[in-house]
Amino acid sequence: MLRLSQSPTDPDFVQNPYPFYDRLRNGGDLAWWEDYGLPCAVSHRAVQALLKDRRFGREVPADLAPAVPDHLAPFYAIEAHSMLELEPPRHTRLRGLVLRAFTSGRIAAMRDDIAALAHDLIDALPDDGADLLPAFCQPLPVIVICRLLGVPETHAPQLLDWSNAMVAMYQARRDRAVEDAAARAATEFQAFLADLVAHRRRHPADDLLTRLVEAEAEGSRLSTDELTATVILLLNAGHEATVHSLGNGIKALLDHQTPIAPETADRTVEEILRFDPPLHMFTRMAYEEVEIFGHTFARGDRVALLLAAANRDPATWPDPASFDPTRPPATHTGFGGGLHFCVGAPLARLEMAIALPILMQRLPGLTLSEPPRYANLYHFHGLEALRATW
């Protein structure tokens, strides 16, 4: 197996990780990333296969689980009930409850709301230019997920702060300060939701939070801990990736002078998610001895699935480093796959397909005022600023 070293916090890598992925892929379907001490799936076929292989999963068996440091107890108390970190049967039950609210009809019903919000945000922009990340890309998805869940959108800035602190635990820059901030955010987020859940029990509404509360009350085995962890996951995942996708998408459209209109939006959004996805790595654990792609995994071994590397595999996409919304469709890994395929993918796609054409139509002179730089967020991938004029 090819073994390569590359710091995930190296400034050059943060700005452009794709050459390193190409080097890894030159070794075949799997390659060893020394800095993580992990084998990595880098080809499209390997990533897709491992996403769907039930011999691998996210949930760590009790006998393999490491001890949780005291200072991180609040964070991992939530993670212990997070759908993202579970496997069947608990994952099946939680995902089923969430999907009852994330129906195609409920998502489609938000189309006009998303469009109106996009117009409102553009109306509020300065006349000459702004950083579109805080002015457009961040507020749009967080307000949408707040409305869907039934969380007061006046709390959106606080939710964004809590979310950023918690998801930093998955970033290569993680240190003790990041851990302490994540634990504080988890404690405050949990308390906020406990109050909101208590209010929804007394005052039901037509929203996802009420549906989850009622499911718990009807004896569908959704505990209070599972309820709050699920809402935190939906709030965090429901906007974090979409913020990066919107920012990366605007950058790609402007860099390549690519128009986007309502009639071409769906295909263009898929190309954005293939070309520069918001999540680059997703890890899984082997539950038994597995021999696959020439490597033997022992029980408890982890493997890193490099989603962004799979999306640039020339065996699946000719000229994969080019941005081409007209290319023939193929299944990208921007939303993962298998049991953990992103439950919010239809909402994220809709937000992008509505908001991006509106932005480009309303701001026909939109131009980058300085080259955007990616933030040190790996294994997420998103911009630190998106300054533009119009």
Residue 308 is predicted with a pLDDT of 98
Residue 239 is predicted with a pLDDT of 74
Q: State the sign of the Cα–Cα–Cα–Cα dihedral 206, 234, 84, 252.
A: positive
Residue 326 is predicted with a pLDDT of 95
Q: Which CATH class is domain 3-389?
A: mainly alpha
Q: Where are the domains of the chain?
A: 3-389
What distance in Å separates the CA atoms of residue 78 and residue 276, rounded to the nearest whole number?
30
Per-residue tens of pLDDT for the chain, all 390 residues:
999 999 999 999 999 999 999 999 999 999 999 999 999 999 999 999 999 999 999 999 999 999 999 999 999 999 999 999 999 988 988 888 888 767 888 888 999 999 999 999 999 999 999 999 999 999 999 999 999 889 888 998 898 899 999 999 999 999 999 999 999 999 999 999 989 988 998 999 988 888 888 876 555 667 778 888 988 888 887 778 899 999 999 999 999 999 999 999 999 999 999 999 999 999 999 999 999 999 999 999 999 999 999 999 999 999 999 999 999 889 999 999 999 999 889 999 999 999 999 999 999 999 999 999 999 999 999 999 999 999
Residue 231 is predicted with a pLDDT of 86
Q: Count CA atoms closer than 13 A to 27's CA, side-chain side.
A: 20
Rounded to 10 deg, the angle between the 345-362 and 265-275 helix axes is 110
Structure-token match 């700005």, residue found: 15
What distance in Å separates the CA atoms of residue 288 and residue 299, rounded to the nearest whole number?
4
Q: Letter for the amino acid at 190?
A: Q
Find the Cα–Cα–Cα–Cα dihedral 123, 124, 129, 135, rounded to 10°: -120
Residue 313 gets the label, from left (phi > 0), alpha (psi -120 to 50) or beta, of beta
